[in-house]
Amino acid sequence: MAGAIEFVDGGTITTPQGFMAGATYAGLKTFAEDKLDLGILFSETPCNTAGVFTTSAIRSATVTVNRERLAQGIPLRGLIVNAGIANTCVGEQGYIDAVEMTGIAAGKTGVRPEEVLVCSTGVIGVELPMALIRDGVEQIELRGAGGSDMARAIMTTDTRPKEVAVSFEIDEHLVRLGGIAKGSGMIHPNMATMLSFLTTDAAVERGFLQRALSQVADETYNMLTVDGDSSTNDTVLVMANGAAHNHEITEGTLAAEAFVEALRQVCTHLTRELARDGEGATHLIIVEVAGAADTADARKAAKTVATSSLIKSAVYGADPNWGRLMMALGRSGAAAEEEKVDLFINGVCIMEAGKPIPFHRDAVVALMKRPEVTFRLQLNLGEGDATAWGCDLTEEYVIINSAYTT
Amino acid sequence: MAGAIEFVDGGTITTPQGFMAGATYAGLKTFAEDKLDLGILFSETPCNTAGVFTTSAIRSATVTVNRERLAQGIPLRGLIVNAGIANTCVGEQGYIDAVEMTGIAAGKTGVRPEEVLVCSTGVIGVELPMALIRDGVEQIELRGAGGSDMARAIMTTDTRPKEVAVSFEIDEHLVRLGGIAKGSGMIHPNMATMLSFLTTDAAVERGFLQRALSQVADETYNMLTVDGDSSTNDTVLVMANGAAHNHEITEGTLAAEAFVEALRQVCTHLTRELARDGEGATHLIIVEVAGAADTADARKAAKTVATSSLIKSAVYGADPNWGRLMMALGRSGAAAEEEKVDLFINGVCIMEAGKPIPFHRDAVVALMKRPEVTFRLQLNLGEGDATAWGCDLTEEYVIINSAYTT
C-alpha cells in the first residue's frame, strides 16, 4: 500500500500541494547577511495541525498563543514568523503583539486570526516593532514556490537554509511531506528545535498527527544538541491539508507506518542539517549508543556524549581522545560496566570489552578530519539503542556568542 | 567557645600540626610546565579521615581503593598522588597499580599499606609506568613545609596551585585547617571536584567528619562548573590527626559549628580558585539564586546558569545579554514565573518583576570587564538560596582541549 520514500530535488515546505509561502525584509534582522526576516506560510485549504514546544519555564508569548490555538482543535490555515526578535520576556506586550501578528496575517490571507499560528526567533527582551511588521506583511507575495524564501526568513546565525521534501505513495495517491528548520545556537531542544515547520498534502487524522510528531521529534530534534542550551521559543509544527485526496491516515494502518517513516526521514534530515550548521561548527558528530539497558539509558548516554564540551573540542582537533567518551558515558546516568564497553570511532574499534586496543593513531586522526565523525558505544547490557547528533566546539562558537547583542 | 576564623598567610596542606608532604618529578607529566608530578602527604599520627568521590559509573581504580580503605573505618596515615595519568580504563591493572602505589608510600613512611590512600589525575586509558613511580618515591623528601610542593604536583592544566589554610580556636586550643585542590577542565563535580585534599590538626569524630565534608562539598565543590564534564577520578579527602589536642569535636556542639564554618570557608576559597583557573578562563562567574521555591530549585537554577555555554561566552565578551539568563533559568527545571523575576549584573538591576529596565549599557559592559562577574537571580517564590561558581568560555578553552593528547 505504501510506496518507497523519495527525496524531492529542491524540495521545501511548499513542495506539498496547496501550500504557498512568501517572505520579505521588514527590518528586524540587523545582524545577518540574509535580510529576509518575515515570512508567511499559507494553505489553500484547512489543515489538521500538530505541534511540540519548548518545555522551558520561561516561554515566548508566541508559544502560549500557539498552544491555545492548537488546543481549540479547529483546522488551521497558516503561520506568520519573524526572525531577529524573539518576543520573549517583554511582559504583557508579548502576548498582545503575538496575537496581533496572527491578525495581520489573517487579514492578508482572508482567514480568521484564530486559524493562524505565530513564531518568533532572535534576541530576548526586546519588543517587536509592530509598525515594521504591519508594513512588511503588505510586501509579502505568497507563491507556490515561496518555501525557500520562508526557509531563509527564519534564519538567525544559521549560515544556510535547511529545507527538504519527500514524496511517497499512500493508497495509490502520491503524497508529499516538506519541511524547513532554523537554529544554530541555543540548541538543545527539550521538546523541539528552535523552529521547524513541516507541511504535507496527505490527509492525516489530527490525533494521530500529534502522536506521530511527538514520537518522531523525540527521536530526532530532541536528540540534537549544539551547545546544551534550550530556547524559550522551540517549536515544531506540522500542517496536513489533505490536498493529495488520500483516505485520511489513521493510527495502526500501513499508511500510518509509511507516514511516520517519511516524517522520520524528513526530521532526521533537518536534524542533521541543524547539527552540521551549529554555530562555528566544522564537523557533524553522530553518537550511536547500542546495547544500553533500555532506550532511556541509550538516549541519556548518546546525548551526554554529544553535549560534552571536551569531546566536541577533541573532534575539532581530530584528537582520538577516547577517554573522554568513557568519562561522558560514566557521568551520563546510564548504567555502564567498564569491562563490557566497546568503542568505535568512524568504524575503527578503539576499545573492546573495556580494554584499549592499540590503534594506528595517524589513521584515526585522518578519519576524524572527515566532515562527519561517528562515535559508537556498545554497552552490551541490553536492547536500548539511540542516536544523537551534535557538532564540534570551535573558537568560532566563542567568537559568535561573546558579542551577539553588542 | 569558638573563636574567629583567620586565614593563614601562605597557608597550605601542611600548615596544620603534624602533617608533612613532599613531591618530585617522576616523569609522568609531559604536558605541563611545572614538572612535579608525584607527591606524598603524611601525618605523624593516625587520622580520622572522610572522603567524597565521583558518582560516575566509570571510575578510576584509585576511587575503588580509597572507598575500600575508608570503609575499613581505621585511622589513616597518608596519601600518595600522581598527575599525568589517571589510572582509569586500563582493566584489572589499574587496581593492581593503585594498591601497589599505597604499598610503595607505606614502605617509605613506615606504615601499613592499608593506612594509605591513593589518587591519580591525567590522561585516561594509559597504564601507570610503575617503575618511574617506584624510583620517584625514593626521591621524595617529606617536610613540614612540603604542602606547596604537593599542591604543584597535582596540577595538570592548572596554571597555578590552589592552597589555603585557616586557624580558629576550639576550647582554647588553636586548631588549623588547610587544603589544596587541582582541576581546571573536566570540572562539573557530582560528588567532588577532581582532587582536593584537606588536613586539620583538630581532633574530629569520624562520623561527624564525614557528614561535615559531605554537606560542605555539596555547597562548594558540587556547585562548581568549568565545562559541564565530570571526571572519573573526582575526590575530596579530609584527614584529621588531633595534634591540636582539643576535645574531639562531635556533632551538635558549638565546636562542630565552628569546624563546619571553617571547612566551608576553606572549601569555598578553593572552589573559587578552581573556577577562576578554569581552562582558558578570563573571568570568575558567581551565580546567586535567591527566593527559589526550595534549595534544590535554587541549586538547579544557579548551576544551569553557570554551565550555559552561551552565558559563559557572553561574559567573555562582557556582553550584558541578560536574555540568556532567563533562557537558562527557564530550562533549569526550577520553578520560575517570568513576572516575578529580578535580575542583577554585578549589583545593577537589569530586570525587575519580569520587565527589562533600561540600563546604561556602557556602564554595565565596564562592570562585566572586571575579573569577577556576579549574576543574581531573585525568583521571589520561596526561601531557596544557592550560589554556583564558574568561569567564562574562551577561544583558549577550545585550543587547550582540541589537542590535549596530541
Residue of chain B with shortest Cα separation from A324 = B124
- Lowest model confidence (mean pLDDT) among A30-39, A333-342, B229-238, B396-405: B396-405
The whole-angstrom separation of Cα A61 and Cα A82 is: 13
Q: Give A-chain residues touching B85 at CB under 8 angstroms.
A: none
Between A and B, how many residue pairs show a Cβ–Cβ distance under 8 A? 210
Q: How confident is the model at residue A126 (pLDDT cuts 50, 70, 90)?
A: confident
To probe the interface with A, which of B53, B285, B327 has the most A CB atoms within 10 Å? B327
Query: Residue A34: what pLDDT?
Result: 63
Query: Quick one: cell of B267?
Result: 572549601
Query: Quick one: cell of A385?
Result: 539503542
Query: Residue A258: what pLDDT?
Result: 95
Asked if A321's CB is within 8 angstroms of B405's CB, the reply is yes
Asked if B229's CB is within 8 angstroms of A324's CB, the reply is yes
Residue of chain B with shortest Cα separation from A338 = B58
Question: Percentage of residues in chain B with pLDDT exceeding 90?
Answer: 72
Q: Is the pLDDT of residue A57 over 90?
A: no
> Judging by beta carbons within 10 Å of its beta carbon (0-12, 13-18, 19+), is residue A72 exposed, middle or buried?
exposed
Q: What are phi and psi of B200, to 5 degrees?
A: -145, 145
Query: Residue A178: what pLDDT?
Result: 96
B22-78 per-position pLDDT tens digit: 999 999 987 666 689 999 999 999 999 999 998 888 889 999 999 999 999 999 999
Nearest to A273 by CA among A184, A200, A345, A192: A184
- More confidently predicted of B404 and B159: B159
Q: Give B-chain residues touching A227 at CB under 8 angstroms.
A: 309-310
Q: Is the pLDDT of residue B191 over 60?
A: no
Q: Is the pLDDT of residue B11 over 60?
A: yes
Out of B228, B323, B351, closest to residue A123 by CB: B323
- Cβ(B157)–Cβ(B33) under 8 Å? no
Q: How confident is the model at residue A106 (pLDDT cuts 50, 70, 90)?
A: very high
Asked if B228's CB is within 8 angstroms of A308's CB, the reply is yes
Query: Residue B173: what pLDDT?
Result: 94
Query: Residue B310: what pLDDT?
Result: 86
Asked if A399's CB is within 8 angstroms of B398's CB, the reply is no
Q: Is the pLDDT of residue A190 over 80?
A: no
- Cβ(A315)–Cβ(A373) under 8 Å? yes
Mean pLDDT of A319-336: 90
Residue of chain A with shortest Cα separation from B357 = A125
- Lowest model confidence (mean pLDDT) among A274-288, A305-319, B23-37, B111-125: B23-37
Query: Residue B193: what pLDDT?
Result: 45
- Lowest model confidence (mean pLDDT) among A78-87, A261-270, B394-403: B394-403
Sign of the alpha-carbon torsion through B399, B400, B401, B404: positive
Residue of chain B with shortest Cα separation from A90 = B355
Q: How confident is the model at residue A228 (pLDDT cuts 50, 70, 90)?
A: low
B231-285 per-position pLDDT tens digit: 788 899 999 999 999 999 999 999 999 999 999 999 999 999 998 988 888 999 9
Asked if A307's CB is within 8 angstroms of B402's CB, the reply is no
Asked if B232's CB is within 8 angstroms of A351's CB, the reply is no
Q: How confident is the model at residue A184 (pLDDT cuts 50, 70, 90)?
A: low
Q: Which residues contact B147 (CB under 8 A, 6 or more apart)?
A: B12, B13, B14, B15, B19, B21, B41, B163, B178, B180
Asked if B401's CB is within 8 angstroms of A308's CB, the reply is no
A278-307 per-position pLDDT tens digit: 888 899 999 999 999 999 999 999 999 998
To probe the interface with A, which of B156, B285, B313, B391 has the most A CB atoms within 10 Å? B313
The whole-angstrom separation of Cα A213 and Cα A246 is: 19
Eight-class DSSP state of B77:
E
- Lowest model confidence (mean pLDDT) among A167-176, A326-335, B177-186, B265-274: B177-186
Question: Across all residues in chain A, what is the average pLDDT?
Answer: 91
Q: How confident is the model at residue A188 (pLDDT cuts 50, 70, 90)?
A: low
- Cβ(A190)–Cβ(A55) under 8 Å? yes
The whole-angstrom separation of Cα A204 and Cα A198 is: 13
Mean pLDDT of A319-332: 89
Q: How confident is the model at residue A1 (pLDDT cuts 50, 70, 90)?
A: very low
Q: Is the pLDDT of residue B404 over 60?
A: no
Q: How confident is the model at residue A191 (pLDDT cuts 50, 70, 90)?
A: very low
Query: Residue B228: what pLDDT?
Result: 61
Query: Residue A193: what pLDDT?
Result: 45
Query: Annotated active-site positions of B, please?
Result: 193
- Lowest model confidence (mean pLDDT) among A182-186, B169-173, B282-286, B321-325: A182-186
Pairing verdict, β A76-85 and A38-53: antiparallel
Q: Is the pLDDT of residue B156 over 90?
A: no
Query: Residue B344: what pLDDT?
Result: 96
Out of A91, A309, A323, closest to residue B354 by CB: A91
Query: Residue B229: what pLDDT?
Result: 63
The alpha carbon of residue A252 is apart from the nearest alpha carbon of chain B, in Å, by 35
The whole-angstrom separation of Cα B237 and Cα B223 is: 17
Question: Across all residues in chain B, what is the average pLDDT?
Answer: 91
A65-81 per-position pLDDT tens digit: 999 999 999 999 999 99
